[in-house]
Structure formats: structure tokens, C-alpha cells
Amino acid sequence: MFTLTDSTASGPRAAPSPASGGREGVGPNGALDDAGREKEAEIVLRKIIDATDHSGHRSTLVRLLARKGRIDEAVEVGRPTFEYYDCGNHLDWAIDLLVEDGWPEHALALLDECSAEYVKEHLHSVRSTRLMLLAKVGRHQEAIAEAAAVPPEEYNRDVMLASLLEEAGRVDEALAVLRSSAASDGRCALAEFLIRQGRPTEAIASLPSVSAQREAREARSRCTEPEDPFG
């Protein structure tokens, strides 16, 4: 159904600016689509995209193709934007379409095509998506190993690892990760985990008191206050 092709993008780029006054889904293509004349709308959209590389019209065409079940074509229309660094990037959209269509392995391959520069600039997002996709294709142990290799102090690491362990049925290990987590969201994640496990009393007890939460906020505030160079 879906054939991967080589990406020609060499690194993050800005999406071309929409034409002055242009709005997504507005114009002859939008009118044709609304009238049920999808084939004509598709032709018009492709001509506009070829001539202007208009990101709004590209989005409209991706939606049109996805709505018709032509997921592989929708992905290819979005492909030229996969390494843009602004809102014109369709990579996450393409991955979602493939996952929803039952092709997580193709979504993973698409993500793995990203350049090293793009991955470095979007490390947290790419890593989180990759771990999710590894789990969806049944590569749980690989996902857990990659999550465990992330430094504990990095944002969302413990919650991410615990979620993967829980999904793999390793509940005790997931609980241990959350109980030992020093992350700011660790306590809330622990409470949610205990509720899912049918242990509401423990969940309530795991939450910090109001005074403890206030002290934690004040401590974080002190840490983020800039030092007085003349103090």
C-alpha cells in the first residue's frame, strides 16, 4: 500500500509563506470540494502547489486525500514539508494518518528518515513519537531500553518509561520507576497509575499535601530567579 521514498530534505527549513490574502480551503478548490467535485478540486490544488508550494493548499489536499482513504498519497503530498521547523510541517499529521490506518511500521520508517539535524532540533518530540511507535509495532523491549537510556533528569523520562513498562505488563517495575521519580509530574503520574491499577486509596495518599506543593513551587521559583550580579 505504501512505498517509502528517499527524502531530499537536507535539514530544517521554513515553510514557504502563503500567498498574500490566501486562506486554507478558500478559493475555487474549496468551492469545488464543498460541491462534491473532489477530483476537480484535487487537480486545482495540485496545480497551485506545483506553482507556489502554498502550505495552506498542501494541507487542504492532504485532508482531501485522507478523507478519500488515499493515505499513501496524502503522506507523499506532505513529504516535502517533513523537515520544516514551523507550522507548515506535516510530519506528525502523516504519522497519525498511518497509525490510524493500521500502518505504524510505515510511520516508524517515515520518522527514521528524518535527518540527524532535524532530530537534534526536535529531540524530545521525535524521541516520544519513536517510543510510541515502537510499542505499537510490538517492539516493547526495544522501546523500554531506549527510554531507560534517557537521562533521568530529562523532561517526562520517568513517566514515559513507566508507561512503556505498564503497557508491556511489567507493572511492578513501572510502579518502582514512578515511586522513585524526582520529576515534577512524577507524583501525579504515580497517582494516575495507582488509580488505573484499582488502588485509589494509595493514589490519594501518594499525592503531596497542599503545604508541600506550595513549598515545591516556592523552591522552583527561587531556582529560576536570576542572580543579582551586584549582590
Query: How many whole angstroms separate alpha carbon 154 and alpha carbon 139?
Result: 23
> Across-strand partners of 84?
13
The pLDDT tens digits for 98-151 are 999 999 999 999 999 999 999 999 899 999 999 999 999 999 999 999 999 999
The CA-atom distances, in angstroms, between 204 and each of 2, 158, 166, 209, 214 are: 47, 20, 20, 10, 18
Place of cell 498511518: 98
Distance of CA 57 to the CA centre of its chain: 22
CA atoms within 13 A on the CB side of 127: 19
**3-state class (DSSP) for residue 86:** coil
Q: pLDDT tens for the chain, 231 residues: list them.
A: 433 333 333 333 344 433 333 334 444 455 555 546 888 888 999 998 888 887 788 888 888 998 989 999 999 998 988 888 766 788 998 999 999 999 999 999 999 999 999 999 989 999 999 999 999 999 999 999 999 999 988 889 999 999 999 999 999 999 999 999 988 788 899 999 999 999 999 999 988 776 766 765 666 566 555 554 444
Angstrom distance (rounded) from CA 47 to CA 27: 13
Q: Among residues 44, 27, 96, which one has the least CA distance to residue 66? A: 96
Which amino acid would we find at residue 171?
Answer: V
Segment (H or E) for 83: none
Identify any residues that bridge with 13 across adjacent strands, giving them in sequence order: 84
61: enclosing H helix or E strand? helix 55-67
CA pair distance 156, 132, nearest whole angstrom: 13
Q: How far apart are CA 157 and CA 146, in angstroms?
A: 10
Query: What share of residues in the chain are helix, strand, coil (percent, to 5)?
Result: 65, 0, 35
- Whole-model pTM? 0.66
- Report the SS3 class of residue 70: coil
DSSP state of 197: T
